[in-house]
Structure formats: structure tokens, C-alpha cells
A and B are shown apart, each in its own frame.
Chain A
Amino acid sequence: MNKKLKSFNSPTFLAYALIAPAAIYILLIVAWPVLETIRLSFTNSSLAGEDYVGFENYEKMLSSKKFNKIVTRTFVWMFFSVSLKLFIGLIGAILLNANLRGRSMFRVLIMPPWVVPIAIGMLGWLWLYNGYFGIIAGVGMHTGILDGPFGFLAYKQSAFISTIVADVWVGTPMVTVFFLAAMQGVPKDLYEAAYCDGASRWDRFFKITLPQITPVIITMSILSAIWTFNSFEIIWILTEGGPRGATTTLIIDTYKQALGNYKFGRGAARAVVVMILLTLFAGFYLALLARINKKISHG
């Protein structure tokens, strides 16, 4: 390689200079707030001012029964939401991968929940869940499953389920599209060989498709766990965490403490817990990604 080319390919200063604007922007708007949140969590910051209080916020938080309940609830909510997204997404991808007339149109038709602002999609769900005038209660009453109006967001258990359904609705398109892309990436000759050997459609799915797309399934479960964990607008718009706290997840609780009660310190302590959990998810995800990439580059 001649000298000029070498200088073209490794100009460290230029490389950093090009990244600098984006890096500084992120440091200021994301990284600094993270550090500030950690600092605030050791103070009793509120509108009145702030004093250093050590671990008081954490002690109070961890010893409160309510907080422990919220953590458990968050994980139960997440578990159902993520599993449903993966399950429905996988079935959806199988359906859209089938060689049927109209499939390119179907693929476009499943995307709107992802494209449309969540806040607006949730207005639609608010109307669907309306106990008197909504279509779900309507179908229930016409078929006799419900013997009168039923407000889906008014009762603890049904609100919990309803918010999960709405969250699944928002998250499924993305999962479906990723699974579909993975299925289409499976080499065609694998299927042809199996077909010649007389393998049934069922066999081909479980012995070829599923193992081939497993890395994507694993990646998507972690990614979708992170997105679901962060889910704020869906619950906030549908129930604001109610009724009587039944849909209050960690994110909702953090928001309520900080911006509803103006207890910035307590809110920050919750935010730190959220960040620690997210870092764990993220670490898990990155480690996995590094392993998958290694596998690919080693053949």
C-alpha cells in the first residue's frame, strides 16, 4: 500500500473530528442527565431546593411494600407483553411469508401501529375499551358474554390485561417484520434439499426455519423486553397507572414521583433503578450480539 493511501485510511484526527458533533450532543443530552439523575437520587431535591441525604431515598424506596409490588408488577406485565409479541409476531411472520396472492399488501397493512404516534393510536384504544359505547363491550353485550356495560380500564385486572393488549398491538409489527426478514434470509437450497428428501412443511419449519432464525428470535426478545420495559405513553394515556395503581409500572411510578409530586430526589432514585435494570438488559444484549457477530465472521 502506498503512503498516500495509508494516510487516507487511518486519519485518526479526522475520524474523531467527524464523530465529535454527534458525540458531544449525546454527552450533553443523554450522558450528563444520566449522571445528574444519579446525583439527584442522593438528595431530597424538590421545588423548594435540595439537600444531600445519602441513601435515604433508596432505603425508603426499597423498604416500601408498594415499591416492591411495583417491581413485581412491572416484570409480570413485561413477561406477558413480550411473550405475546414474540408469539404473535412469529405466527404473523409465518403467515406473511407464505406464498400467497396479496402478501406484499398484507406486509404494508401490518405496519400502521408502528408508524402512527403511540399517543394517537391509544386514543383509538380508549374508544375501543369504552364500557358503554366501545365496540368490544358492544360485541360482548350483543353476544351475551357481558350482561351490561363493562369499562375495561375501570377494573384492576381488566385494566392490567387491556394495557398489555394495547402494548402488544404497538410492538407486534416490528417483531413481525424482523422475523419475516430473518425467514427470507434462510438460504433457499436448504428448503429445496429438504423438499427433495420428502420433508413435510411442518418438518421444514421446525428443522430448518426455526433453528436458522433462532439468533434473531433471541435478539428480538431482548430488544422487545427493553422497549416494553420503557413503555410509558401506552399506560399513561390509557390509565395513568390506575385504577388504584393496578397498571403502575416502574416507568410510570418514576414519572409520577418526579413530575406528579415534584419529589425529584425520590423520582431520581427510581430512575436509577430503571437505569440499572436497563444496563443489565443492554449488557446481556450486547454480549449476545458480540457472540453472534463472532460466529458470523468465523463462518
Chain B
Amino acid sequence: MNKYKLYEKIILYFSITIFLIFILLPFVEMFYASLRPLDHLFRSPYQFYSDDLSFWAYREMWNTVPMLGRYIFNSFFLATSVAILTLLFVIPAAYSYARFNFPFKNSSLYILLAINMFSGAVLLIPLYKVLRTFGLLNSYQAMIVPGVAFLIPTSIWLLKSYFEKIPVDLEEAAFVDGASRVQILRHIIAPLSTPGLVVVGIYAFIGAYAQQFLFAITFNQKKEYMPIPSGLYEFIGYTTVKWNEMMAASLVGIAPVLIVFLFLQKYIVEGLTSGAVKN
């Protein structure tokens, strides 16, 4: 194939830079704000240059919002629980969809896709009632239970496509040789589908980390269970908004999910797009 000419390269890199500025500007600005003293932030017009940068806000934020560590732990804990629970529900269902033929198979798969499109925001009132009936309001479960429900549909679709890639002959051969279904699951399917399980687990983890705001502000009033997105709003409650500390806390709060993503980004992106983009 032909190579790019110099001017084409310049145009391409220039456009990519603009694209990346749009995507990354909020994060860069958050980081820059977190390094500046508060009285420096509150100068107008905006000053691009600072000679008083420090990591002071990263120490002070733990005093301003004493529960901050707890909020970050809650976020991580909630996302992990949601991911594990989602996998528990999804593994058998996805296996069944991948391997067996049964009445209403296709229609139920499409219904799953359709369910995926209802957001939690429209169903808050009855969800509130369900959670109240089961006595789950103001607890971790208040955020975990609805969280899992909205991640199940996509996860089934994702995992199903992984299971389909495992050759059925292997299982059939084992079955004819007298292996039980449990043995097949343990010795053939589990080891072969580990990459798929990781991708779906990470997808659920990221999804659960992202969805923590709405359920958290609606179904939970107790501080000790709050995840970081709603906990951060405590920085706003005082006479002045401590923007530098809030930004520092935001960046620390998103670090876990960013790290998980960085290590596994290749698999996640591949996994998510393979369903929608068939060759």
C-alpha cells in the first residue's frame, strides 16, 4: 500500500491532536486544578501558568472529607460484588444459549437486547418499592441489586459469543465417553472460557463503577455505604467549593477503574465490538 506524504502525515497528526485534546482536556484540567492552591484557582481571568504547584490537595482531601477512603473502598467493593454476581447469573444462561436449542430461544435473546435499552432512570419509582419490600434500602444491596439487573442482558450476549467459539466436538466426545455435565463444565469449558469470563467480568466491573451515581443518590442515604461519585459531592457542601481537593479526590477515585482498564483494554474493546461487527 502507498505511504503517506509528509503533508498528509502532518494533517493526520494535527487532527489526532485536536481529537485527543477534546477527549482528554477535562482530565488534564482536573489534574492541573488539583495541583494548584485554592486561592490561585479562584483568579479571573484564568491563568495558564502557575509556579506554586504542589500535591498538597492530595493530603488535605482526607481531612476535608474524612470518609473519603471509605467511599473509594465502597466504589471498589460495589463494583466487584456486582461483577461477581453478574457472572454467577450469566454463566449458566450464556452457556445454555450458546449450546442448546429450545423454544423461544431467539425471541428471548432479542427481548434481552430490548431490556438493555430501558435505563434505571425511568424505573426508579417501582424499583424503590421493590427494594423497600425486601428491606434493602440504605444498604450495599440497594445499589448492587438493580446494578446487576441492568448488566445481565449485555453480559449474556457477550459471554454467549465466547462460549460459541469453543468447539462443541470436544464436549460431545467427552459426553459420549461418559463424562458428566459437571465434569465437562470443570475440565473443558471452564479452562477454555477463562479469557471470555475475564472480559465479561471486567465489562461488568466498569459498568458497575460507572452506574453508581443514580442508584446511590436515590436508594441510599447512609454515608457509610456511599460510593465515590456521590461522596464527592461533600466537597461542594461548604462555604467555598474546594475544587482542588475535589479534583484530587476524583482522580484518586477513578484510578482503580482506569488501571483495570489499562491492563485489559485490548480484550475489552475486542470483546465489545466483536458482537456488533461481524465479518
Interface residues of A (CB under 8 A from B): 2, 4-5, 8-12, 14-16, 18-19, 21-23, 25-26, 28-34, 36-37, 40, 88, 91-92, 95-96, 98-100, 106-113, 115-121, 123-125, 127-128, 132-135, 137-139, 141-142, 149, 169, 172-173, 177-178, 181-182, 185, 187, 191-192, 195, 201, 216, 219-220, 226, 230, 232-233, 237, 251, 254-255, 258-259, 264, 267-268, 271, 274-275, 278-279, 281-283, 285-286, 289-290, 296
- Indicate if the CB atoms of B247 and A264 lie closer than 8 Å: no
- Complex partner residue of B26 from A9, A125, A149, A173, CB under 8 angstroms: A125
B214 shortest CB reach to chain A, Å: 6
- Indicate if the CB atoms of B44 and A132 lie closer than 8 Å: yes
Q: Does B122 contact A (CB under 8 A)?
A: yes
- Indicate if the CB atoms of A135 and B16 lie closer than 8 Å: no
Q: Does B19 contact A (CB under 8 A)?
A: yes
Interface 9-mer from B59-67, B146-154, B190-198: B146-154
- Indicate if the CB atoms of A133 and B41 lie closer than 8 Å: yes
| Interface residues of B, dominant DSSP | helix
Task: Determine the distance from Cα of A252 to Cα of B87 in the docked complex, in whole angstroms.
Answer: 32
0/1 interface trace, chain B 106-139, chain A, CB 8 Å (1 if under): 0010101111011101111111011000000000
Q: Does B210 contact A (CB under 8 A)?
A: yes
Q: Does B140 contact A (CB under 8 A)?
A: no
Interface residues on B, range: 35 or more
- Indicate if the CB atoms of A127 and B33 lie closer than 8 Å: yes
- Indicate if the CB atoms of A108 and B262 lie closer than 8 Å: yes
| Residues of B177-235 contacting chain A, CB below 8 A | 181, 206, 209-214, 218, 228-230, 232
- Closest chain A residue, CB of each to CB of B2: A195
- Given A117-B213, A169-B22, A282-B117 in contact, is the A40-B125 Cβ separation under 8 Å? yes
Residues on B with C-beta less than 8 A from A285 are 113, 117
- Closest chain B residue, CB of each to CB of A116: B254
- Indicate if the CB atoms of A22 and B269 lie closer than 8 Å: no
- Indicate if the CB atoms of A30 and B125 lie closer than 8 Å: no
A252 shortest CB reach to chain B, Å: 9
Q: Can you report 30 A-B residue pairs in the complex whose CB atoms are below 8 A from each other?
A: A8-B172, A8-B175, A9-B172, A12-B103, A19-B96, A22-B90, A23-B93, A26-B153, A100-B9, A100-B13, A106-B16, A115-B258, A119-B213, A123-B246, A124-B250, A127-B247, A135-B25, A169-B26, A172-B23, A177-B273, A178-B277, A182-B277, A187-B279, A219-B276, A226-B117, A233-B214, A251-B122, A255-B121, A282-B113, A289-B110
- Indicate if the CB atoms of A111 and B261 lie closer than 8 Å: yes
Task: Determine the distance from Cα of A289 to Cα of B110 in the docked complex, in whole angstroms.
Answer: 10
* Closest CB pairs A-B (n = 4): A138-B46, A124-B26, A33-B126, A29-B149
Task: Determine the distance from Cα of A123 to Cα of B31 in the docked complex, in whole angstroms.
Answer: 12
Task: Determine the distance from Cα of A237 to Cα of B114 in the docked complex, in whole angstroms.
Answer: 27
- Complex partner residue of B175 from A5, A32, A99, CB under 8 angstroms: A5
- Indicate if the CB atoms of B118 and A30 lie closer than 8 Å: yes
- Indicate if the CB atoms of B46 and A173 lie closer than 8 Å: no
0/1 interface trace, chain B 93-107, chain A, CB 8 Å (1 if under): 101110111110000
- Indicate if the CB atoms of A232 and B119 lie closer than 8 Å: yes
B88 shortest CB reach to chain A, Å: 8
Residues on B with C-beta less than 8 A from A233 are 213-214
- Given A100-B13, A119-B230, A195-B1 in contact, is the A25-B152 Cβ separation under 8 Å? yes
- Indicate if the CB atoms of B213 and A118 lie closer than 8 Å: yes
| Residues of B229-279 contacting chain A, CB below 8 A | 229-230, 232, 243, 246-247, 250, 253-254, 257-258, 261-262, 265, 269-270, 272-274, 276-279
Residues on B with C-beta less than 8 A from A107 are 269
7 additional contacts (CB under 8 A) given A10-B102, A111-B265: A30-B118, A30-B150, A36-B125, A111-B269, A128-B25, A226-B117, A271-B122
- Indicate if the CB atoms of A98 and B12 lie closer than 8 Å: yes
A122 shortest CB reach to chain B, Å: 9
- Indicate if the CB atoms of A37 and B20 lie closer than 8 Å: no
- Complex partner residue of A117 from B125, B127, B209, B277, CB under 8 angstroms: B209
Task: Determine the distance from Cα of A125 to Cα of B23 in the docked complex, in whole angstroms.
Answer: 11
- Closest chain A residue, CB of each to CB of B101: A10
- Indicate if the CB atoms of B46 and A181 lie closer than 8 Å: no
- Indicate if the CB atoms of A149 and B44 lie closer than 8 Å: yes
Residues on A with C-beta less than 8 A from B112 are 26
Residues on A with C-beta less than 8 A from B7 are none
| Residues of B17-44 contacting chain A, CB below 8 A | 19-20, 22-27, 29-30, 33, 41-44
- Indicate if the CB atoms of A259 and B124 lie closer than 8 Å: yes
Q: Does B92 contact A (CB under 8 A)?
A: yes
- Indicate if the CB atoms of B123 and A30 lie closer than 8 Å: yes
Residues on A with C-beta less than 8 A from B278 are 185, 296
- Indicate if the CB atoms of A116 and B123 lie closer than 8 Å: no
B148 shortest CB reach to chain A, Å: 7
B155 shortest CB reach to chain A, Å: 9
